[in-house]
Amino acid sequence: MDKLLDVKNLHVSFDTYGGEVKAVRGVNFDLKKGETLAIVGESGSGKSVTTKALMQLIPKPPGRIKEGEILFEGRDLAKMNEKQMQKIRGKEISMIFQDPMTSLNPTMKVGNQIMEGLIKHQKMNKSQARKRVVELLDLVGIPDPENRMKQYPHQFSGGMRQRVVVAIALACNPKLLIADEPTTALDVTIQAQILELMKDIQKKTDSATIFITHDLGVVANVADRVAVMYAGKIVEIGTVDDIFYNPKHPYTWGLLGSMPSLDSADEELYAIPGSPPDLLDPPKGDAFAARNEYALQIDLEQEPPMFKVSDTHYAATWLLHEHAPDIEPPASIKKRMEGMANTSSESKGERV
Amino acid sequence: MENHKPSKDLFVPVERTDNDSEKINRPSLSFWQDSFIRLRKNVGAMIGLFVLIALGVMAIFGPYMNSYGEFEQDLSRAKMPPKVEGLGWLGMDGTLSSVQTADTLEKAEQKAYMRFNNQEEFITLQTLNDGSNGQPAEVEAEYDVYAAKGMEDQSFWFGTDGLGRDLWTRTWMGTRISLYIALLAATIDMIIGVAYGGISAYYGGRVDNYMQRIIEILVGIPNLVIVILMILILEPGILSITIALTITGWISMARIVRGQVLKLKNQEFVLASRTLGSKDNRILRKHLVPNVLGLIIINTMFTIPAAIFFEAFLSFIGLGLPTPIASLGTLIDDGFKSLQIYPHILLFPAIVISLIMIAFNVLADGLRDAFDPKMRE
Amino acid sequence: MTRYILQRLGYMIITMFLIATFTFFLMKFLPGTPLSAADKLSEEQQAVVLEKYGLNDPVPVQYFNYMVNLTQGDLGISFQFDNREVTTIILERIGPSMTLGFQAMVIGTILGMLLGLISAIYHNGFLDYGSTFIAVVGKSIPSFVFAGILQYFVGVKLGWFPVALWEGWEYTVLPTVALAIFPIAIAARFMRTEMLEVLGSDYITTARAKGVNKFGVVFKHGLRNALIPLITVLGPLAIGLMTGTLVIENIFAVPGIGEQFVKAINTNDFPIIMGTTLLIAFLFIFIILVIDLLYGVIDPRIRLAEGE
């Protein structure tokens, strides 16, 4: 399969007064054409920084890509300068942001904001661009596009604004769409609408999508594959089925356990104790060890490598090592795993 | 990733005694400690603070550092240039100099001597251009004023003014008066403003409503106009200038305090504290005061330079302190009268007032940054 | 919108009325009549003079006359300049003051905004520190001290521009620069803060994610949003300039209102003091009103809220 995007050993740091904050510490993943990858994790786990780094949108300084490669169709985005990036942004990769209330320019008409990219990248003239804007607004489900495009963002509701943001992102038919928690700031009912819209658009266009969220419910709905991030690293990555029905990393267990589900109504929801580590000074060994009730002695000393569970499924936990004791996942997770009949349930992984 | 094989015996569950995952590694700092640390890191603000302390010390002790009195007039030593032993290289050598040009060297020299009353024995001439290259001749004359007046044994560090009063003494006395007016005005502003704003916000409702209407009317009247009219009624003097400055000065403080208290009163952490059963007294002490105090300090730090400016400004439009009293404003006003020939009369008070203004502004900026909770990381 | 303007105009008239009343009664308390200016006059002559100024009438009548005259733009007769109306004197002298104030305002805000923009674009760089330093110094040093520096070094030592008087555009240079330093400093500081805030906002990231270049980000997306709050400082700036002209005109011997005002104070010419005071108050209130209205024109959010 041809890879659209291949991120190798990406490190992103922020230089602050206190020292270097290592926000992303060696992230590897790839993405095929038309595929949807969800990145999940708590706030501060580095998921937003990772994707902003892809487009070089992290504020520099204090942020910088310390090392690693971002191969987009074979070209390394990490090495590109600002001028080259401007040709990529909005045209080949575009982004949908979290808060529609602040991500639109309040003093610019909505139509002009959508048109900007078209005129820049597609070299359209004003009237061509205007026509395309009407199409786009129609595509994202905004009624009466001819008139709406002449209005300012404050005349739109939150959900409608997010549709505009989606339209801006889609304007130039990007090959990769990054959605950074696109539903978090919205009301629950509107969230569902925007998710439907996203899925619909995925069908209509063949853009690959990276979907960042902390809401696992959303993940099951839209993604093909899931990457779980913790403290600047991917701790587990696999298909939706791998992650939901055969999770291997205790952190993933925690995340799944904290998600309410219909068939586990009687159970108490699980909360992961503690808070993420200070990335100014990441702990030795496994960053999750301090909060992990299944932590092994080795977690305190050495960082676990990625263990291969299956061809699609990898996890970074010492529990997958051949010497590790057999540890039972929590009951709710076991129930999930049983629910999935034919999972490849090898108990031990293969080190990669 | 580590390459060596991990040893087998490490694969045992960790025994946990207490839950240290909840531990917070960084030391907890109080609001004031935190602010102070940030202020100390701000180089500009620290320089400003240092300059203010230095100027304050000079305002207190400066006038006693030589034997000349503030009001001691002696026309025989009028407009003496500044002279400090050892600072001759800075131009403070007790001489006046003048460049004269004429068609020929001789004429230029003549003009140069003339400039200082032909007291040739005290004049050193230096030829800048002898006129041989077609351009007019240029001669610089340096006139040793102290020698000419037989005052070699004296030195006026900042020179003297038109009435022969020592400018060193007067500058520091003036600094003292200006700082005194500014600090007094700022303190009164603060007391009235905090009381008015606090009462208005604390009682709320109808009281607040009436008090705000009064403020709205007062705000509409330009303070320049009020200050001028007040001085016209009260006759210039230290007290009347202070009163004139405070009559509108407290309004901004009152508005800030009211706004902040109103905002804090309804904020979650205050409500939370109240829900937990805190007494009014505790809420006031632990939540309201620390959060408003920063703003009060910052605002006061900005009112002080504004008051200093206004005092000097009033001197300029003829509403300043009555004549023998020195303030930075009256000194500067005085200095303008002979700026072209004796710039030193203006120079020193101008430097002092500029330093005070810059130092207060920089320090106030630094404090604002230090107290701003948004900047806390 | 119309209702809002009318309401504001109403407030303006009330404030002006209060100030006029206040100044009138103040004048009654002050020692100083046209007589103090004139030399020894006989009783009859004094009576004639008092009659001319309407000072023989009872105070309420005087007040009523003063107010009626005021509505017709008549500010009374100067004590010092025989038979000359204050309104005429002010009108004669308003030209130079306006020229200075206007030049300083335009030059000051434009230069200041540029300085602030440079600061924001090169945030934490050498240029930023440089222009921040200029802004702090410019805000702190009083305009009259700055005027002294200019007068001595640029005027006397270098001889580039005339030191005083008002006989052509070159005479406006030094006083304008002396006045402009304050708006430059204020505008630069404000522009820097606002632009930095705007450049850190989400919609700027959106614009960058669209592939808009740095120029487009700053000027197309940033500038307008940063300008809206800048309007709020225009009022204090204009008032600062009015304060500044009072002294600057004196220093540079510019025949403007400020110079006249200071003369009037020194000679107890109350009608002129009152007239100028009222004019300053009027300009002050008027500027605040204009700026509030301008705010609505520039910010679409406010414009619409008012329209609905």
Q: Tell whether B233 and B357 lie within a shared domain.
A: yes
**Alpha-carbon torsion C76, C80, C84, C87, what sign?**
negative
Q: Tell whether B171 and B144 lie within a shared domain.
A: no
Q: Tell whether B123 and B258 lie within a shared domain.
A: no
B62 part of a folded domain: no
Q: Tell whether B178 and B86 lie within a shared domain.
A: no
How far apart are the CA of A214 and the nearest CA of chain B, in angstroms? Answer: 21
How far apart are the CA of A93 and the nearest CA of chain C, in angstroms? Answer: 8
User: Tokens 């850190």 correspond to what residue?
Assistant: C200
Q: Tell whether B144 and B171 lie within a shared domain.
A: no
A107: chain C residues, CB-CB within 8 Å: 224-225, 228, 299-300
Q: Tell whether B113 and B205 lie within a shared domain.
A: no
Q: How many domains does chain B have?
A: 2
Q: Choose the closest CB to C225 out of A55, A94, A107.
A: A107
Are B14 and A297 within 8 A, CB to CB? yes
Please give, one letter per residue, the 3-state secondary structure of chain A. CCEEEEEEEEEEEEEECCEEEEEEEEEEEEEECCCEEEEECCCCCCHHHHHHHHCCCCCCCCEEEEEEEEEECCEEHHHCCHHHHHHHECCCEEEECCCCCCCCCCCCCHHHHHHHHHHHHCCCCHHHHHHHHHHHHHHCCCCCHHHHCCCCHHHCCHHHHHHHHHHHHHCCCCCEEEEECCCCCCCHHHHHHHHHHHHHHHHHCCCEEEEEECCHHHHHHHCCEEEEEECCEEEEEEEHHHHHHCCCCHHHHHHHHCCCCHHHCCCCCCCCCCCCCCCCCCCCCCCCHHHCCCCEHHHHCCCCCCEECCCCCEECCHHHCCCCCCCCCCHHHHHHHHHCCCCCCCCCCEEC
Report DSSP state, residue C150: I
Q: Tell whether B174 and B143 lie within a shared domain.
A: no
pLDDT computed for residue B285 by the predictor: 74
Please check whether residue C289 touches B, CB under 8 A. Answer: no
**B29-43, C114-128, C131-145, range with the lowest pLDDT:** B29-43
Are B313 and C141 within 8 A, CB to CB? no
Helices (H), B221-288: 223-234, 238-265, 268-275, 280-283
Confidence band (pLDDT; 50, 70, 90) for C302?
low
C196: chain B residues, CB-CB within 8 Å: none
C285: chain B residues, CB-CB within 8 Å: 220, 222
Instruction: Please provide the average confidence, as pLDDT, over all residues in chain A.
Output: 82
pLDDT at A333 > cutoff 80 = no
pLDDT tens string, chain B, 377 residues long: the values are: 444 566 677 777 776 555 554 555 556 667 777 777 777 877 888 888 898 898 888 888 877 777 777 777 776 776 777 776 666 666 667 677 777 777 777 777 777 777 777 676 677 777 777 667 767 777 777 777 766 666 666 777 777 777 778 788 888 888 888 889 889 999 999 999 988 888 888 777 888 888 887 887 777 677 777 787 788 777 778 888 888 888 888 888 888 888 888 888 777 777 888 788 777 777 777 777 777 888 888 888 888 888 888 888 888 777 878 778 788 888 888 888 777 777 788 888 888 899 999 998 888 888 887 776 554 33
Are C163 and B361 within 8 A, CB to CB? no
Q: CA torsion angle for C258, C264, C265, C271 (degrees, to 10)?
A: -110
Q: Tell whether B232 and B139 lie within a shared domain.
A: no
Spell out the domain ranges in chain C.
2-71, 93-298
Q: Tell whether B121 and B257 lie within a shared domain.
A: no
Least Cα distance to B340 among A40, C99, C151, A9 occurs for: C151
Q: Around Cβ B259, how many Cβ atoms within 10 Å?
A: 14
B3 part of a folded domain: no
Domains and their CATH numbers in chain A: 3-214 (3.40.50.300), 243-351 (no CATH)
Please check whether residue B353 touches C, CB under 8 A. Answer: yes
Domain limit, last residue, from B93, B118, B148: B148
Q: Choose the closest CB to C152 out of B305, B319, B339.
A: B339
C203: chain A residues, CB-CB within 8 Å: 102-106
Tokens standing for residue B184 = 């007094």
* Chains near B (3 or more Cβ pairs under 8 Å): A, C
State how far the Cα of C199 lies from the Cα of C193, in Å rounded to an integer: 10
pTM: 0.77
How far apart are the CA of C222 and the nearest CA of chain A, in angstroms? Answer: 9
C194: chain A residues, CB-CB within 8 Å: none
Are A154 and C210 within 8 A, CB to CB? no
Tokens standing for residue B203 = 């009682």
The CATH code of the domain that includes B327 is 1.10.3720.10
Are C247 and B316 within 8 A, CB to CB? yes
Q: Tell whether B237 and B189 lie within a shared domain.
A: yes
pLDDT computed for residue C288 by the predictor: 76
Q: Tell whether B141 and B176 lie within a shared domain.
A: no
Q: Please, which residues bridge with residue C85 across strands?
A: C77
State how far the Cα of B91 lies from the Cα of B89, in Å rounded to an integer: 5
User: Tokens 């402009």 correspond to what residue?
Assistant: C180
How big is the CA angle at B153 (ends B150 and B158), to the nearest 5 degrees? Answer: 95
**The domain containing residue B131 runs over which residues?**
81-148
Are A107 and C224 within 8 A, CB to CB? yes
A interface with B, Cβ–Cβ below 8 Å: 16-18, 273-275, 278, 281, 289-291, 294-303, 305, 318, 321, 323-325, 327
Please check whether residue C139 touches B, CB under 8 A. Answer: yes
Residue partners of C276: CB distance under 8 A and separation at least 6 = C90, C257, C260, C261, C264
Domain C93-298 in CATH: superfamily?
MetI-like (1.10.3720.10)
Contact B119, B144 (CB under 8 A): no
Q: Which residue of C has its CA nearest to A177?
A: C209
Least Cα distance to A92 among A84, A101, A103 occurs for: A84
User: Tokens 């339209």 correspond to what residue?
Assistant: A167
Q: Tell whether B242 and B350 lie within a shared domain.
A: yes
pLDDT at A341 > cutoff 60 = no
pLDDT computed for residue B375 by the predictor: 44
Q: Which residue of A has its CA nearest to B25?
A: A278
B139 part of a folded domain: yes
* Chains near C (3 or more Cβ pairs under 8 Å): A, B
Tokens standing for residue C53 = 């100024």
Q: Choose the closest CB to A168 out of C210, C221, C225.
A: C210
